[in-house]
Chains A and B, each alone.
Chain A
Amino acid sequence: MTTAPPTERGRLDSAAPEAVDRLCSELRTGLLAGLPARERFIVELLVREALMNSVAHGSGGTRRGEIHYEIGPVPGGMMIRVTDDGSGFDWRGWQEGGYQPLAESGRGLHIFHLYAHRVQFFGNGNRVELIRIFAKGELSG
């Protein structure tokens, strides 16, 4: 029986895409290292989208906002929780059938629903919680 890796909690060192890269680089060699390639890709992508959502909407591009994250195993999968101190965004306006392949934006929310088995926004949209359940036959958390 293997022991589940510990949950990663922390605060991005800046509300900038480069900080997202630094965290994802750490996750690749740490929390996600033991996952099969497909699940590693999917979880990292969900982490990136959740964090970039906060970078874009939480700090308004100022790089000064606070973004907190929690990423860790749940039975059969992985949980990602990201909270920022920004004004949020209109997550209620998203509609699954409204996806436009040729639109150059709005793809992040579609990716949430494509790969996460549970997508929950809280409050004004400045907290998101995603649960990815690993595909059958993949490692469990």
Chain B
Amino acid sequence: MNFGIRQEGERAVVVPNGDVVASGVPELWSAMRDLVRSGSRDMVVDLSETTMIDSVGLGLLLSAFNSLQEKEGAFSVINASEEILELLRSLRMHQHFPVAGK
């Protein structure tokens, strides 16, 4: 899948250019894992270009959060659509990392 990564000071902002679903998660996870391995300790996933996220994509967010938590890092999600925000909240993910809508 297409995605962008921009550095904002110490923070890495990952921007998927489309849906975060099973077909694209392995490639995205590989890039996010590399960021953590290379020392990123503050990661933000910007969902402004994402209209759909499935259970595999949700697992990706959890994997990233768990990886950063192990390193005492920070993880958050921003610019989620109303529908994705509702899903994340229903699954109680907002209780573990910050989640913000558009």
Contact = CB atoms under 8 A, between A and B. Distances in A.
A114 B58 CA distance: 15
B44 to A, nearest CB: 19
14 contacts: A16-B23, A17-B22, A17-B56, A18-B23, A20-B23, A21-B21, A48-B52, A49-B54, A52-B55, A55-B22, A101-B92, A101-B93, A107-B58, A107-B91
Interface residues of B, number: 27
Contact of A108 (B21, B55, B63, B92): B55
Interface string B75-95: 000000111101100111101
Contacts of B58: 107
Do most interface residues of chain B lie in helix, strand or loop, or is the interface mixed? helix
A38 B19 CA distance: 16
A139 to B, nearest CB: 16
Interface in B1-37: 19, 21-23
Question: Which of A38, A41, A111, A114 lies at the interface centre, i.e. has the most chain B CB atoms within 10 A of its CB?
Answer: A41
